Amino acid sequence: MGNYCFGIDVGGTTVKCGLFHTDGTLVEKWEIKTRTENHGEAIVPDVAKTILDKIEEKGIDKADVDGVGIGVPGPVTESGDVLVAVNLFWGFKHLAKELEELTGLHAKAGNDANVAALGEAWKGAAEGAKNIVLLTLGTGVGGGIIIDGKIVHGAHGAGGEVGHACINHAETAVCNCGNHGCLEQYASATGIVRIASQELARTKDESILRNSTLTAKAVLDAFKAGDEVAIRIMESVGDRLGGAMAIFAAVVDPEAFVIGGGVSRAGQPLIDCIRKYYEKYAFPTCRETPISIAALGNDAGIFGAARMVIQEK
Amino acid sequence: MGNYCFGIDVGGTTVKCGLFHTDGTLVEKWEIKTRTENHGEAIVPDVAKTILDKIEEKGIDKADVDGVGIGVPGPVTESGDVLVAVNLFWGFKHLAKELEELTGLHAKAGNDANVAALGEAWKGAAEGAKNIVLLTLGTGVGGGIIIDGKIVHGAHGAGGEVGHACINHAETAVCNCGNHGCLEQYASATGIVRIASQELARTKDESILRNSTLTAKAVLDAFKAGDEVAIRIMESVGDRLGGAMAIFAAVVDPEAFVIGGGVSRAGQPLIDCIRKYYEKYAFPTCRETPISIAALGNDAGIFGAARMVIQEK
């Protein structure tokens, strides 16, 4: 076992990079630009170069590097193949294999939300837990399932795609995935704005939300300030989200739920609102399962990516 | 690695026992009575005795036995502790430890539905699959989740408790677990009869179901015979069940779903009815996931139990 490894988190704009000690200490982090032109053909070579440059800069013996873990925004199979990554302009790609060839280092790849879940289970909000469910509430709803300390990639790279759990068969609006009634349509930032618009149109009740541009942040701020319309909106979101989490608990019964993404900045009031409905719908023995806000923020991806190449030891 | 192992499946009336070669060949199976009197205190000693008797009868060297796996009807933790098993009149019990002490053999314990799932993934309908979801549609709805070839026990022994996924927040009838709207209330034999009663009361349409005692078997037979009311009933059940399975797929994205239990005797027409709604609600990349009828019948439990002690090698 070497002393170093790399964790890489590829986003649509920047690639976050981390050099770690294999005990989980972050030695250094930095970013490079994500060059998406020409179907993103430079991205993997750029990642390989920045890793090799760092090894040289630090005077590290390459034999002392355990490997490179990399997270990308798209479905990834257990063998490290990316099926598609729309934001990177990638089609199918043997990502882990390509990165191994370019760096001469052992490589593992995973979906970015799954990798973030592994990071939170390793060094974040659920530190030390072997079984967790992470939900990231951002523009969409992503997620990651960790079982026995490992990512559940799924047979089609769709493990942890909890944002596309279809929870409302009566929904008429269409989700980005083409279905109707996905969790993402209620619990993402976009979904919260959608529910808020509906509620503001349904009622004439006064609300501070009527005086400004309607954003998820505005709704969450009004909710925390005690605005009654905003409270009704977030109770509705909490009902959908807590209800979905209760179903997930009946499947994998995790030690902990972790909530990340921009919406999670609303903090404890959001957790309290989710928890109320989670407990209402959960199977009795799972009712006490902790629900926490993600702790690693934007670093969850590099931590989880690093963990992928360490845990195999 | 030895040449033999035992797989034990404890039910409320009988204990099914299997002696296996460690390659998965069933050498012999037999049953003993489940003695539930005095809080079921004789059950584990009875199991230990029948194992030791069989070893002696066959002239097997005990060192050639890898261990004993045992499945029981109740929540079981990863460490082999039973939290409660109502049908056996057990409270908390260190089951694996007790069985080890009484037999001198390595022992592992699991929930019976989880263990059956492992059996089906090992030698049954999903032979060779590492990731499956099993649903058993019987008096209730049980289930088991296999990830990476292993049972997902869950943090509270509730892994695979998919029958208590709360899928209908509008339900007013109470489930056995105390919640409202659990999958079990629609897709179990009891649930099918309940839905059938409602449909028969709602409409005056002619149906062969009006001429006989209402049982799940009668509904399924009428469904297969083309009775229009029975078809409506089963479409409603298929909608609930297929919809729930689509959510499970968004969590763990299994290679295969396996449907067992008495209701599964309805065979392919039932699968077709579930599949129609599963595809309607599933995340696009999971739509083709196979759904099969369980293949091992009542032997799934002994196969899965045996597998528990083999797979650790």
Q: Complex ipTM, two decimals?
A: 0.94
Q: Provide the token pair at B65.
A: 């036995």
For residue A196, give how far its alpha carbon lies from the nearest alpha carbon of chain B (Å): 21
- Which strands form A4-10's sheet, in the order they lie side by side? A26-33, A14-21, A4-10, A65-72, A107-111
Q: Provide the token pair at A306.
A: 């690093």
Contact A160 B251 (CB under 8 A): yes
| Cα three-residue angle B196-B184-A143, rounded to 5 degrees | 130
**Phi (first) and psi of residue B10, to 5 degrees:** -90, 115
Contact A166 B239 (CB under 8 A): no
Terminal CA-to-CA distance of chain A, rounded, Å?
Answer: 7
Taken in order B127, B133, B137, B142, the sign of the CA dihedral is positive
- What is the average pLDDT across B248-261? 97
pLDDT one digit per residue (tens) for chain A, 313 residues:
789 999 999 999 999 999 999 999 999 999 999 999 999 999 999 999 999 999 999 999 999 999 999 999 999 999 999 999 988 999 999 999 999 999 999 999 999 999 999 999 999 999 999 999 999 999 899 999 999 999 999 999 999 999 999 999 999 999 989 999 999 999 999 999 999 999 999 999 999 999 889 999 999 999 999 999 999 999 999 999 999 999 999 999 999 999 999 999 999 999 999 999 999 999 999 999 999 999 999 999 999 999 999 965 4
CB-based contact B141:B188 (threshold 8 Å): yes
Q: What is the Cα–Cα distance from B249 to B227, expressed in whole angstroms? A: 31
Instruction: Give the chain B residue whose CA is nearest to the CA of A130.
Output: B155
pLDDT tens-digit series, residues B189-206: 999 999 999 999 999 999
Contact A281 B83 (CB under 8 A): no
Q: What is the Cα–Cα distance from B262 to B63, expressed in whole angstroms? A: 39
**Phi (first) and psi of residue B266, to 5 degrees:** -65, -20
Burial B48-74 (b: 16+ CB within 10 A, else e): bebbeebbeeeebeeeebbbbbbbbbb
Q: What is the Cα–Cα distance from B96 to B28, expressed in whole angstroms? A: 23
For residue B160, give how far its alpha carbon lies from the nearest alpha carbon of chain A (Å): 5
A207 and A65 in a single domain? The answer is no
Residue whose pair of structure tokens reads 């909490």 in the numeric block: A238
For residue B117, give how far its alpha carbon lies from the nearest alpha carbon of chain A (Å): 13
Instruction: Say what the pLDDT of residue A88 is.
Output: 94
Chain B residues in contact with A179 (beta carbon < 8 A): 281, 283-284
Q: From the list B153, B252, B286, which residue is nearest A152 (CB)?
A: B252
Instruction: Give the chain A residue whose CA is nearest to the CA of B179.
Output: A281
Contact B251 A252 (CB under 8 A): yes
> In sequence order, what are the beta bridge partners of B107?
B68
A206 and A83 in a single domain? The answer is no
A147 and A290 in a single domain? The answer is yes
Contacts of B9 (CB under 8 A, 6+ apart): B15, B16, B17, B70, B71, B112, B115, B116, B301, B302, B305
Q: What is the Cα–Cα distance from A201 to B126, expressed in whole angstroms? A: 50
B142 and B260 in a single domain? The answer is yes
B97 and B243 in a single domain? The answer is no
Instruction: Say what the pLDDT of residue B66 is.
Output: 95
Residue B268, classified by CB atoms within 10 Å of its CB into exposed (0-12), middle (13-18) or buried (19+), is: exposed
Instruction: Say what the pLDDT of residue B1 is.
Output: 76
- What is the average pLDDT across B44-49? 98
Q: From the list B75, B150, B284, which residue is nearest A177 (CB)?
A: B284
For residue B59, give how far its alpha carbon lies from the nearest alpha carbon of chain A (Å): 38
A-B contacts (CB, under 8 Å): 154
Contact B249 A286 (CB under 8 A): no
Q: From the list B158, B165, B177, which residue is nearest A247 (CB)?
A: B165
A114 and A142 in a single domain? The answer is no
Instruction: Say what the pLDDT of residue B313 is.
Output: 46
Q: From the list A167, A179, A251, which residue is nearest B252 (CB)?
A: A251
Q: Provide the token pair at B239.
A: 């909608």
Q: From the list B158, B169, B249, which residue is nearest A286 (CB)?
A: B158
Q: Provide the token pair at B51.
A: 């194992």
Confidence of residue B185 (pLDDT cuts 50, 70, 90): very high
Chain B residues in contact with A162 (beta carbon < 8 A): 250-251
CB-based contact A88:A43 (threshold 8 Å): yes
Name the DSSP class of A153.
Answer: -
* Percent of chain B whose pLDDT exceeds 70: 99
Q: From the list B148, B153, B247, which residue is nearest A166 (CB)?
A: B247
A165 and A251 in a single domain? The answer is yes
Structural element, H or E, at residue A47: helix A43-58
pTM of the model: 0.95
Chain B residues in contact with A241 (beta carbon < 8 A): none
Name the domain count of chain B.
Answer: 2
pLDDT tens-digit series, residues A124-170: 999 999 999 999 999 899 999 999 999 999 999 999 999 999 999 99
Instruction: Say what the pLDDT of residue A2 is.
Output: 87
Chain B residues in contact with A181 (beta carbon < 8 A): 281
Question: What residues make up the domain containing B22?
Answer: 4-123+298-310
Instruction: Say what the pLDDT of residue A313 is.
Output: 47
Q: What is the Cα–Cα distance from A117 to A133, expressed in whole angstroms? A: 7
Name the DSSP class of A175.
Answer: P
Instruction: Say what the pLDDT of residue A111 is.
Output: 95
B261 and B166 in a single domain? The answer is yes
Q: What is the Cα–Cα distance from A128 to A120, expressed in whole angstroms? A: 9
Chain B residues in contact with A282 (beta carbon < 8 A): 166
pLDDT tens-digit series, residues B76-111: 999 999 999 988 999 999 999 999 999 999 999 999
Contact A285 B249 (CB under 8 A): no
Q: From the list B244, B247, B252, which residue is nearest A252 (CB)?
A: B252
* Number of neighbouring beta carbons within 10 Å of residue A253: 26
For an interface test with A, the pick among B78, B151, B235, B252 (most A C-beta atoms closer than 10 Å) comes out as B252
Of B87, B60, B79, B82, residue with least CA distance to B71: B82
A168 and A94 in a single domain? The answer is no
Q: What is the Cα–Cα distance from A253 to A134, expressed in whole angstroms? A: 13
Q: Provide the token pair at A29.
A: 């982090």
Taken in order B300, B303, B309, B312, the sign of the CA dihedral is negative
For residue A59, give how far its alpha carbon lies from the nearest alpha carbon of chain B (Å): 38
Terminal CA-to-CA distance of chain B, rounded, Å?
Answer: 7
Mean residue pLDDT across chain B: 96
Contact A283 B155 (CB under 8 A): no
Q: What is the Cα–Cα distance from A113 to A158, expressed in whole angstroms? A: 11
For residue A236, give how far its alpha carbon lies from the nearest alpha carbon of chain B (Å): 13
Chain A residues in contact with B290 (beta carbon < 8 A): none
CB-based contact A47:A70 (threshold 8 Å): yes
Contact A286 B156 (CB under 8 A): yes
Beta strand A14-21 pairing with A4-10:
antiparallel
- Which strands form A291-293's sheet, in the order they lie side by side? A150-151, A141-147, A132-137, A256-260, A291-293
CB-based contact A116:A134 (threshold 8 Å): yes
**Phi (first) and psi of residue A200, to 5 degrees:** -65, -30
Contact A152 B253 (CB under 8 A): yes
Measured CA to CA in angstroms, residue A205 lies from A193, A202, A220, A227, A234 at distances of: 17, 9, 18, 10, 16
B148 and B242 in a single domain? The answer is yes
Chain A residues in contact with B242 (beta carbon < 8 A): none
Contact B165 A246 (CB under 8 A): yes
A149 and A281 in a single domain? The answer is yes
Contact A251 B162 (CB under 8 A): yes
Burial B172-197 (b: 16+ CB within 10 A, else e): eeebebebbbbbbbbbbbbbbbbbbe
Helix (DSSP H) and strand (DSSP E) numbers for chain A: 10, 10
Contact B179 A253 (CB under 8 A): no
Of A147, A82, A87, A83, residue with least CA distance to A117: A147
Chain A residues in contact with B186 (beta carbon < 8 A): none
A288 and A175 in a single domain? The answer is yes
Statement: residue B312 has pLDDT above 70: no
DSSP E strands, B47-155: 65-72, 107-111, 132-137, 141-147, 150-151
Burial A101-125 (b: 16+ CB within 10 A, else e): ebbebbbbbbbbbbbbbbbbbbbbb
Domain of A157, CATH number, reads 3.30.420.40
Q: From the list A154, A181, A282, which residue is nearest B252 (CB)?
A: A154
Q: What is the Cα–Cα distance from A300 to A220, expressed in whole angstroms? A: 23
Q: Provide the token pair at B153.
A: 């026990």
Instruction: Say what the pLDDT of residue A312 is.
Output: 53
